[in-house]
């Protein structure tokens, strides 16, 4: 079983914190969609005839595509790959793109899951982030989407300078009260080469407060736990049976094919990533050449990736999957975390506790071979 990711590299405007690959000019959208359709075909052997159980249109902003554009990509995927009946087909959507007509179009195309970039239900935060939608659009269009789709995820961001704990509670409570089945909640990070990075460096925005972020993450775990959500991955919470199957496949080490500029692929042996430049991508695809770089993974790299991704999940790190000498070394290096309550043994798995999740990156780096 495997998954396909299609990267739509266009956005209406640049959110200040974002370091994904996208362009804000839509002038070359036609050429891009034509190139994506070609790459879907050129890559048809990448998954070695494995059935595809998830398809994910991400970006960028896939909801900027017309029905006809999405349909061309979906048709080519169906033509070139074996899609499992009941496959999860997700579309990332920005609230300002949602209309009744578009929702019906998306359903008609077979899309059965929406991932909506809400981020906050407060204008003050949305403006600070330079999001293209307002708090009213977030509420109204989320309600509209709920009428047509039962499988919905929303993204929320915490740890922004203007987000008090009271506002954070309001954002999470709003999602709970609307019975949103899946939430992806991210701590704001300041990435180099983003407008936010420059704003902080030049004093036009306060810097991130790590203590406040940690506090808001602990509150989030408490509120969503009380509301019956399963904290199945560091940043992801779901009602029973509503985990993201596509993202779960990344954490389970399954194969995936990434289509489009900057998209990554993994076939179990090597990892590759397409060039993150729209003009160079379309020009290269026009010559029937996929512009990518590739890295063969060593046994140690695969093991470290396994440690990194599995510790992010509720199932944790399955110790039965380690050879004896590796296991002994890992048990020794993890002892300082189990002794201090940052990790615990559950059956044959090592899992992060709530406090450990606050330090997940640092802990996993310490356990690497």
Stretch that binds ligand SF4, among 13-21, 105-113, 262-270, 304-312 (CB under 6 A): 13-21
Told to check if 316 binds ligand SF4 by CB under 6 A, we report no
Q: How far apart are CA 226 and CA 183, in angstroms?
A: 14
**Residue 18 engages ligand SF4 in binding (rule: CB under 6 A):** yes
Q: Does 260 bind ligand SF4 (CB under 6 A)?
A: no
First to last CA, the chain: 29
20 vs 306 by CB, closer to ligand SF4: 20
Which of 50, 56, 57, 59 contacts ligand SF4 by CB under 6 A?
Answer: 59
Three-state DSSP class for 51?
coil
Q: Which of residues 111-140 bind ligand SF4 (CB under 6 A)?
A: 117
Under 8 Å CB-to-CB from 218, ≥6 apart: which residues? 354, 358
C-beta of 27 vs 287, nearer to ligand SF4: 27
Q: Which is nearer to ligand SF4, 20 or 28 (CB)?
A: 20
State which of residues 4, 8, 11, 358 lies at the interface with ligand SF4 (CB under 6 A): 11
Q: Distance between CA 161 and CA 163 in Å, rounded?
A: 6
Residue 188 binding ligand SF4, by CB under 6 A = no
Closer Cβ to ligand SF4, 15 or 103, answer by number: 15
The 317-318 sheet, strands edge to edge: 317-318, 349-352, 343-346
Nearer to ligand SF4, 25 or 226 (CB): 25
* Position among 61, 174, 235, 282 found at the interface with ligand SF4 (CB under 6 A): 61
Cα–Cα distance measured from residue 163 to residue 168, given in angstroms and rounded to the nearest whole number? 6
Q: Identify the three-state secondary structure at position 87.
A: strand
Q: Is the separation of the CB atoms in 119 and 155 below 8 Å?
A: yes
62 scored as a contact of ligand SF4 (CB under 6 A): no
Task: Identify how many contiguous H helices and E strands the chain contains and give both numbers.
Answer: 14, 15
Residues that bind ligand SF4 in the complex, under the rule CB under 6 A: 11, 14-15, 18, 20, 22, 59-61, 94, 117
């Amino acid at each position: 079983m495997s998954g396909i990711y299609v990267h739509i590299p266009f956005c209406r405007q640049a959110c200040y914190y974002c370091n994904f690959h996208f362009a804000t000019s839509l002038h070359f959208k036609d050429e891009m969609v034509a190139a994506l359709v070609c790459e879907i075909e050129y890559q048809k052997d990448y998954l070695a005839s494995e059935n595809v159980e998830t398809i994910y249109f991400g970006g960028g902003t896939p909801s900027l595509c017309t029905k006809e554009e999405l349909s061309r990509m979906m048709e080519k995927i169906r033509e070139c790959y074996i899609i499992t009946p009941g496959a999860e087909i997700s579309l990332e959507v920005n609230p300002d793109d949602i209309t009744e007509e578009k929702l019906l179009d998306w359903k008609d195309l077979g899309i059965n899951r929406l991932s909506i970039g809400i981020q906050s239900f407060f204008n003050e935060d949305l403006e600070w982030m330079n999001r293209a939608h307002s708090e009213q659009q977030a509420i109204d269009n989320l309600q509209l989407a709920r009428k047509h789709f039962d499988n919905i995820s929303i993204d929320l961001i915490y740890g922004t300078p203007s987000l008090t704990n009271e506002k954070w509670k309001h954002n999470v409570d709003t999602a709970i009260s609307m019975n949103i089945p899946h939430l992806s909640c991210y701590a704001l990070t300041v990435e180099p080469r983003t407008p936010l990075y420059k704003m902080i460096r030049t004093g036009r925005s306060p810097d991130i407060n790590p203590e406040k972020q940690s506090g808001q993450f602990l509150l989030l775990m408490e509120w969503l736990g009380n509301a019956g959500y399963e904290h199945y991955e560091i940043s992801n919470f779901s009602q029973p049976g509503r985990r993201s199957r596509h993202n779960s496949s990344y954490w389970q080490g399954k194969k995936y094919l990434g289509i489009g500029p900057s998209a990554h692929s993994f076939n179990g042996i090597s990892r590759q990533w397409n060039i993150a430049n729209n003009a160079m991508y379309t020009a290269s695809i026009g010559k029937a050449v996929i512009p990518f770089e590739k890295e063969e993974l060593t046994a140690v790299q695969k093991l470290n990736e396994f440690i990194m991704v599995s510790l992010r999940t509720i199932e944790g790190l399955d110790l039965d999957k380690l050879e004896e000498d590796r296991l002994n070394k890992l048990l020794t290096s993890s002892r300082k975390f189990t002794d201090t309550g940052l990790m615990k043994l559950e059956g044959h798995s090592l899992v992060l506790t709530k406090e450990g999740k606050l330090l997940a990156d640092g802990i996993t780096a310490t356990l690497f071979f």
